[in-house]
Structure 1
Amino acid sequence: MTRLHLFDLDGTLIHGSAAAVEISRQLGVEREIGELERDFAQGRLLPGDFAVRACELWSGLTEAQVAAAFEQAPWLAGIREVWADIRARGERCAVISLSPGFFVERLLDWGADAAHGSRWPSVPFREPVDPAGILNAAAKVRIADELCARYGLGRADCVAYGDSMSDAELFAVVPTSVAVNADHHVSGIASYAYTGRDLREAYECVEKRG
């Protein structure tokens, strides 16, 4: 059976952190991004508002800093191995994240078939971020449907991996889901739950059960 495995990024593939946090660390604005993260988690900021504020914090961001943030992020172990196994089975894997596309798309080099993030201006920024290009939870479902159409699959063929509120809508429409180091928004609705730092173990929750 061909399946499409859909991975969240922040808090899922990156353990206990997020692309925005790792980028902000390179710029020395961890405290400021932490405040924005809290406001977003508590519903005081919409994804587009968060992006506009983050873009202001990152006005001096360079490609070298993005590369450093990516390389130094606390990634789960085994990501490349899991994606290689998925593809060896004739299945597909994709990343869908609210984080900036310029960060998310670097995962194509690790073996993802597709990587979708929010639309940001190119680095270094020469124009402001457009809130209309920032993804939200509903966009994850829309993109999953687009990927299914591309690969000749349906929602019934999908497995979702995520950790938080932005994954809940996707978890609700696919038959199989894995809550990875997750909070209450998805832990109660997921098919399986995994706590740890190795994606191979989270992946086995699904594969051991066929």
Structure 2
Amino acid sequence: MSRLHLFDMDGTLLRGSSANVELARELGLVEEFREMDARFAVGEIDSGAYAGQAYGLWRELTAERVAAAFDGAPWLAGIREVWSDIRARGEYCAVISMSPDFFVRRLLEWGAHAAHGTRFPEPPFGDVPLDLTGILRPESKVLIADRLCADYGVTRAECVAYGDSLSDTALFGVVPVSVAVNGDHNVAALATLAYRGDDLREAYALTLPR
């Protein structure tokens, strides 16, 4: 029996950070994004408004600056090794994140079978408008997971989800095995397994047959 491993990125593969924070740091806009994050957390702005404001602040982004932000981010140890082991077992691994796809897709080079994020134009953006229909929301993770299940010939019953926060609760609610990786109170009661630390290999080991 094969399995599909579904990984969140912000706060999960990236410990204590997010793509938005790392891009903001690269551009010197950390305070602006902290304010946006705070407003989003209390519901003052929704995913669409957040993406639109971020798009405006990211006008100076280039492919080189995205690469610098990605390379300097605080990734958990062992990501490539975990995905290599998943592939060796004949299983599948994918990343589903609400962060911009131009950042998330870089994880394909590390061994993910698929990587999905909110759709943005490729930096530099120029005058290309943002397509609001490409913005992901927490429930989008379930829809994408279902499409990936169909692609790889598995079912929800054969999925393992890894996440840390509110954006992962919808997915945690529909799969049989879920791992809270440095998780907060939103996933604590939903997760079937929990891990705190800096090494994805240790979190992944919890899901392996004993």
Are 1:29 and 2:46 an aligned pair?
no
What is the aligned partner in structure 2 of residue 47 from structure 1? 47
Give 1:1-210 correspondences, 5 Å limit.
1-126=1-126, 127-207=128-208, 209-210=209-210
Deviation at 1:163? 0.4
Greater than 6 Å deviation, 4+ residue runs:
none
Residues of 2 paired with 1:202 and 1:5: CA distance? Answer: 12
Q: Secondary structure at the match of 2:179?
A: strand
Residues of 2 paired with 1:38 and 1:204: CA distance? Answer: 34
The answer on whether the counterparts of 1:77 and 1:198 sit within 8 Å (CA) in structure 2 is yes
What RMSD, in angstroms, separates the aligned Cα atoms of the two structures? Answer: 0.9
Amino acid at match of 1:103: F
Residues of 2 paired with 1:43 and 1:155: CA distance? Answer: 30
Amino acid at match of 1:50: Y
Residues of 2 paired with 1:81 and 1:41: CA distance? Answer: 33
Residues of 1 paired with 2:71 and 2:165: CA distance? Answer: 23
Deviation at 1:129? 1.9
What is the aligned-residue identity percentage? 61
Amino acid at match of 2:166: M
Q: Secondary structure at the match of 2:160?
A: strand
CA displacement 1:109-142 (0-9 Å, x = unmatched): 0000000011001210122322221101111000
Q: Secondary structure at the match of 1:103?
A: helix
Residues of 2 paired with 1:149 and 1:91: CA distance? Answer: 14
Amino acid at match of 1:82: V
- How many correspondences in the alignment? 209
CA displacement 1:75-115 (0-9 Å, x = unmatched): 00000000000010000000000000000000000000000
Deviation at 1:174? 0.2
Give the alignment's TM-score, normalised by structure 1: 0.97
Give the alignment's TM-score, normalised by structure 2: 0.97
Deviation at 1:43? 2.1
Q: Secondary structure at the match of 1:99?
A: strand
The answer on whether the counterparts of 1:55 and 1:128 sit within 8 Å (CA) in structure 2 is no
